[in-house]
Amino acid sequence: MSAVLVKGKLPRWGMVIDLNRCVGCQTCTIACKHANDTTPGVQWRRVLDVEQGTFPDVERFFLVVGCQHCADPPCVPVCPTGATRQREDGLVTMDYDVCIGCANCAVSCPYQARTIVHDASGYYGAKTRQEQATAHPERLSVAQKCTFCQDRIETGLERGLKPGVDPEATPACSASCIAQAIQFGDFNDAQSHVSQLVRERSRWEP
């Protein structure tokens, strides 16, 4: 599906993540897994627990990682089939029907945000009824990644909702964040929360 115009202007979707707000609760990870039915061992949204320094001067923080939907994504030009592409609204998407599982995108991604699963095993050996109902056979042996919940965004826009404001139209990880550390929105909208956060941050940078 092509990008949806917002008030006649093409959006540029993206996220701002405040590491000072993140409490490491992993709610975003679980929300992503629930929304996208990823298989065991596959997490499109992860939170890394990072410790640095030397005792007694140590620091601990939580690093939210996943596909960055880069402005200039290195995964796109290395894809030999065009399965990985960047839409006009900035979303980097996957066409599972075209992907051949060569893993070029996985090798080129500096964020390790690509996964290729060859065996769709369940959490308890044999797949449960729930796992069978939410299976995605189209993802087997091909590259998969975070899509910024593009279906939620597009369905929300069709309903007149605003991504980044209305939870139903916002990526699951952002909508579920209890600390509001993950903010989503349109960078082409100067009044959006993400645009305001970027301007505020730039004023404090040296």
Q: Is residue 4 part of a domain?
A: no
Q: Is residue 41 part of a domain?
A: yes
Q: Is residue 3 part of a domain?
A: no
Q: Is residue 5 part of a domain?
A: no
Phi, psi of 114 (to 5 degrees): -110, 145
Q: Is residue 1 part of a domain?
A: no
Rounded to an integer, what distance in angstroms lies between the CA atom of residue 78 and that of residue 116? Answer: 16
Q: Is residue 6 part of a domain?
A: no
Rounded to an integer, what distance in angstroms lies between the CA atom of residue 32 and that of residue 198? Answer: 24
pLDDT tens-digit readout, 192-206: 999 999 998 766 554
Q: Which of 85, 101, 82 is nearest to 93 (CA)?
A: 85
Residue 143's domain spans which residues?
13-200
Kindly tell me the number of DSSP H helices and DSSP E strands found in the chain: 6, 8
Q: Name residue 153's beta-bridge partners.
A: none
Two tokens at 35? 């929304």
| Amino acid at site 178 | I
| pLDDT confidence band for 1 (50 / 70 / 90) | very low
| Amino acid at site 152 | R
Q: Is residue 7 part of a domain?
A: no
| Amino acid at site 15 | M
pTM of the model: 0.87
Two tokens at 61? 């923080």
Q: What is the CATH number of the domain that holds 193?
A: 3.30.70.20
Residue 63, CA distances (Å) to 11, 28, 164 in order: 27, 12, 21
pLDDT tens-digit readout, 168-195: 999 999 999 999 999 999 999 999 999 9
* Total count of domains within the chain: 1
pLDDT tens-digit readout, 112-158: 999 999 988 888 888 899 999 999 999 999 999 999 999 999 999 99
